[in-house]
Amino acid sequence: MRNSQPTTHKSQPTKANPQLSAHGLQNGLEVGDWELGAGRMRGVAALPVILLISGIILEIVAASAFLAFSFSSGSFGTLLAAEALFGARTGSDDAIYRVIKNNYLSSYSLTTTTGSHTVVIDVTVEKDPIDLGSCSVAWGCRYRIYSSGRVLFRERKVETILAVDPNTREIRRESFREVEI
């Protein structure tokens, strides 16, 4: 005997055939996974927080890199300035030696290497400059030497004044100072 009531076949939800219920889609997943309830909104706040923290970390790294560069270039600049001053003093000493030997030039340049840097030295020798007084002796009474040393972008300049005894021709250094460029 057969059942007299007609049978109705309900299709089961599948991934290919999801069914819509009053609470949302149902295809083997819980209904709450598709709803926009309070539990689903918790993850949305995480993205701005992660971006904010990443931005702060990036800013700290950039500031640290800038400070490290500033300190290293500051020390590097001081080193270059010291090498330029040493070059200027070397040029002054060379000019004094040439004046003693009476073999000086009124202007000349020298080039030397210190470590990995090239020092360019420019020397100018003035015999009896007017502002230092007049002299009646043929070999001169006073000499002014300007010597400048350049290393990369740093430059230092020194001034040396020599006094020559008119009787003995003894040369003595009257002054030695760094001058502004």
Sheet holding 107-114, edge to edge: 107-114, 117-127, 142-151, 154-164, 171-179
**Radius of gyration of the chain from Cα atoms?**
43
pLDDT digits (tens, 9 = 90+) for 2-23: 555 555 555 555 555 555 555 5
CATH number at residue 104: 3.30.1300
Q: What is the pLDDT of residues 67-121, one digit of tens each?
A: 888 776 778 888 889 999 999 999 999 999 998 888 889 999 999 987 788 999 9
Determine how many CB atoms are found less than 10 A away from the CB of residue 171.
16
Q: Quick check: pTM over 0.75?
A: no
Q: What is the dihedral of CA 124, 130, 135, 137, to 10 degrees?
A: 40
Does a structural domain hold residue 164? yes
Would strands 107-114 and 171-179 be described as parallel, antiparallel, or unpaired?
unpaired
Tell me whether residue 64 is in a domain. Answer: yes
The domain of 96 spans 49-179
